[in-house]
Amino acid sequence: QVQLQESGPGLVKPSETLSLTCSVSGYSITSGYYWGWIRQPPGKGLEWIESIYYSGSTFYNPSLKSRVTVSVDTTKNQLSLKLRSVTAADTAVYYCARAYCVTTSCYTFDYWGQGALVTVSS
Amino acid sequence: QSVLTQPPSVSAAPGQKVTISCSGSNFNIGNNYVCWYQQLPGTAPKLLIYDNNKRPSGIPDRFSGSKSGTSATLGITGLQTGDEGDYYCGTWDNSMSASYVFGTGTKVTVL
């Protein structure tokens, strides 16, 4: 059974960098799927951030790309998210998920982590 | 502001049927597969429907999906109290800012 678990600091100061890790178990991240990050501000809807293949190929959200770095560590079966220069608007639950993507687009997020709440506040 | 529009809420009595619409354009729904996700209170989203109308293993056939033109629809029959939560459509958007987009979300209430 594919399982994903997000981890990282729950509180980040404004202008600093938000860093999260997603640990994947029950499936190798090198086995043919992309892996993505999605966030959800409290009481609001879902926003896709980026999806990455283990080779480094990515699909990204243009509205966030300038502040986002997503990477994979195949030795640890993990992916990570860094979001720079955060503001209160970046306060959200951050989810990692397995993504089905083809050459030009992504279609499905079929397995999700439980989510990690990150609050941006001084 | 999402490019996929859903009704804010729908409701029905237990055992009844609800439908949730997802309206988009030829940049997204019209030319891409649609998914539906269920988010029960306090939990992560869960994939309900993929490729417009396919159910992942373990999803009961009370849930169905369809697509016509630039709109998609999720149907839930035999409504149960455990179905209360938020439902989101999702698909790829091929506009200038190509990205995966989610719908605005619909809250399902079982009366």
* Three-state DSSP string of A46-103: CEEEEEECCCCCEEECCCCHHHEEEEEECCCCEEEEEECCCCHHHCEEEEEEEEEECC
Query: Nearest by CB to A45, which of B2, B44, B50?
Result: B2
The predicted structure's pLDDT at residue B97:
82
A48-88: pLDDT as tens digits: 999 999 999 999 999 999 999 999 999 999 999 999 999 99
Contact A112 B44 (CB under 8 A): yes
Q: Would an 8 Å CB–CB cutoff place A62 in contact with chain B?
A: yes
B28-76: pLDDT as tens digits: 999 999 999 999 999 999 999 999 999 999 999 999 999 999 999 999 9
Closest CA to B32 of B64, B4, B58, B62: B4
Angle subtended at Cα A68 by Cα A60 and Cα A5, rounded to the nearest 5 degrees: 85
The predicted structure's pLDDT at residue A115:
98
Is B47 in contact with B87 (CB distance < 8 Å)? no
Nearest-by-CA chain A residue for B99: A61
